[in-house]
Chains A and B, each alone.
Chain A
Amino acid sequence: MADDRRFHGVPLRFIYTPHPVAGMPPSVLRGYIEGKDPATQRTVIEEVIEAITKPVSEDEFTGDFAPISRTGVRQTLLEPDTEDNLQRLFYERGWIDGLPIILPTEERVAEMLTGTNRAADEVVAEIFLHDTQEYLTFTVEMVAIIGVMAGARPEHLPVLLAVASTGHPSIPGSTTPFACMLLVNGPIRNEIEMNSGIGAFSPRNLANSVIGRAWTLLTINWGYMRLRKQFWTSQGNPIGYNNMCVAENEERSAWEPFHVQKKFRPEESVVSLFRGWSFVNNVVGSSHRSVGNDMLLQLSALPGLFSAATLILDPLVARHLKENEGFRTKLDFCRWISENFKMPAGQFWGTDLIHMMMAPLADQGVEPYASWKKLPPDALIAPYDKPENINIVVVGGETSPMWKVADFAYAVSAPVDKWRAKPVTDGCTDGTCGLPDEP
């Protein structure tokens, strides 16, 4: 908090209470007020009163805004040691997820770098570390190192570089159990033998496993997993081991691929990242209700934050919706969800996440939220009011008409082709052909 104050140049007096505050009963909060500031061991309420009444001295904030003189220092090569000791070193330094890794030797990293035509020292991403006020520079070589550690092969590297280029962490700093999904579209899915079919989300396929893991190893080495610095999630989320890394089953899908929806061309290879917290599985099928009505029930367990949801459908389900229920496109079905999902206003506003993130919109008069806020608690609203924020992805092996309903929001897509070892021959060598025009 103090670092954030300095970063934004705000001279404020901060007082700390014990943590957490959210969700704690009144008696505990009252105890915080009358108890000790963990940073100073002084009584919180006395510090509060002092902050308002004690004159500000001329040099009170001077130290906060003093120039920082740290410069980049990095030991490129580790001291020689045994395999076991180096495995332990990587774990103890907090560089890995707790599972054994492939040690990134010079030879292995050099071999990994054959997977791209980019220079090893090209900068792929810059990550800002709020707690230390540092910019972390990540090069192609560093992504290759991470790829080796995760067990990836050179042909996976362009996908890893595309993920890294977004700068999006798979486990964002939060007390909440964030979860992410990594989707790959386009020809590279099959070239690197990703699984989009039977058991695609299960631990069975090399490419899905190592690419998903590599995103988390990137995240760790971007500094997002330092305990009580960026990493605060109280329970965590097992999705973070692999980040639901999967390819879309474009060949068996009844609808256009996800990346084409995002204005890329079908022949481009693209990674797309999603972020949320939870998903609900459909378990058997839907013979007593329509598929849509089953999904509406499952969505009622999710918050509906900014109208975001992601529906992951087996090809059987997508085909059924198109051929038997008349939804010609993914967006057609999203519009049906948007119009037919209803939730009591009291349930919507009573969700802390909604109260925190969306109540300000209502208070500022933004519609429809302002009108929803005035309704009685049992009045029904349609919180998925933006069908374009509902995503549909087709994944599965057609052994059963299954689906998953997630609260994931679409975050970003990034082209893969520009990171390949050999340019693609369709004239789209920089990988940006399908990107929307700048506004």
Chain B
Amino acid sequence: MATLLRSAVLNPEGYRTVRAAGGNAPSKPPSFSSLAPRLDSLNGKTIYLVDTGFGGSGKFLDQVQAWFAERMPSVKTVRRRKTGNIFRDDTKDLWAEIKENGQAAILGVAG
């Protein structure tokens, strides 16, 4: 018959704590009014398809673009790659361009 260990065995897990609610998240939820209004229709609109640069994102958005061309040809799609490295901050140029020339943007993350 197996015998119990004479000595207590310790748990190897660390202490889990949440130092601040939501980490870097703001203490208050983002303001609803700060969000861009949604479009009532996509007809005739320009949608940016933004490749984040992460694996497969560009190829996936190629297919999204092809889908819109076939199924919703009235939608103009513009493919762009995020200007910064996937893990780093961007320059603001692309976001300014989208604000100027587009009505919506879809970001592809992939992996």
CB of A105 within 8 A of CB of B10, answer yes
Complex Cα spacing A352 to B56, Å: 9
CB of B11 within 8 A of CB of A74, answer yes
Q: Which of A57-65, A250-258, A389-397 contacts B (4 or more CB under 8 A)?
A: A57-65
Interface residues of A in 39-98 (CB under 8 A from B): 45, 48-49, 52-58, 60-62, 64-78, 80-86, 90, 95
Q: Quick one: which of A33, A103, A133, A142 contacts B18, CB cutoff 8 A?
A: A133
Interface residues of A in 86-134 (CB under 8 A from B): 86, 90, 95, 103-109, 127-129, 132-134
CB of A21 within 8 A of CB of B5, answer no
Complex Cα spacing A90 to B5, Å: 15
Q: Is B28's CB within 8 Å of the partner chain A? A: yes
CB of A52 within 8 A of CB of B111, answer no
Q: Is A283's CB within 8 Å of the partner chain B? A: no
Q: Is B2's CB within 8 Å of the partner chain A? A: yes
The residues of A that contact B10 with a CB separation of less than 8 Å are 76-78, 104-106, 109, 141, 145
The residues of B that contact A108 with a CB separation of less than 8 Å are 7
From A363, which residue of chain B is reached at the shortest CB distance? B83
Interface residues on B, range: 35 or more
CB of A52 within 8 A of CB of B39, answer yes
Q: Quick one: which of B3, B38, B109 contacts A1, CB cutoff 8 A?
A: B109
The residues of A that contact B37 with a CB separation of less than 8 Å are 55
The residues of A that contact B17 with a CB separation of less than 8 Å are 70-72, 134-135, 137
Complex Cα spacing A84 to B40, Å: 64
Which secondary structure dominates chain A's binding surface?
mixed
Q: Quick one: which of B8, B12, B88, B106 contacts A142, CB cutoff 8 A?
A: B12
From A12, which residue of chain B is reached at the shortest CB distance? B107
CB of A7 within 8 A of CB of B24, answer yes
Complex Cα spacing A356 to B111, Å: 11
Complex Cα spacing A138 to B16, Å: 9
Complex Cα spacing A125 to B39, Å: 47
Chain B, residues 74-87, CB within 8 Å of chain A (1/0): the string is 00000001111110
Q: Quick one: which of A22, A45, A62 contacts B111, CB cutoff 8 A?
A: A22
A-B contact pairs, 17 of them (CB 8 A): A6-B25, A11-B30, A21-B56, A26-B62, A52-B39, A84-B2, A86-B9, A104-B12, A105-B9, A109-B10, A129-B16, A133-B23, A135-B16, A137-B14, A360-B83, A360-B84, A364-B91
Task: List the interface of chain A (C-beta within 8 A of B).
Answer: 1, 6-12, 17, 19-24, 26, 29-30, 32-34, 45, 48-49, 52-58, 60-62, 64-78, 80-86, 90, 95, 103-109, 127-129, 132-139, 141-142, 145-146, 149, 175, 217, 221-222, 352, 355-357, 359-361, 363-364
Task: List the interface of chain B (C-beta within 8 A of A).
Answer: 2-5, 7-19, 21-26, 28-30, 32, 35, 37-42, 47, 53-57, 59-60, 62-64, 66-67, 81-86, 88, 91, 104, 106-107, 109-111
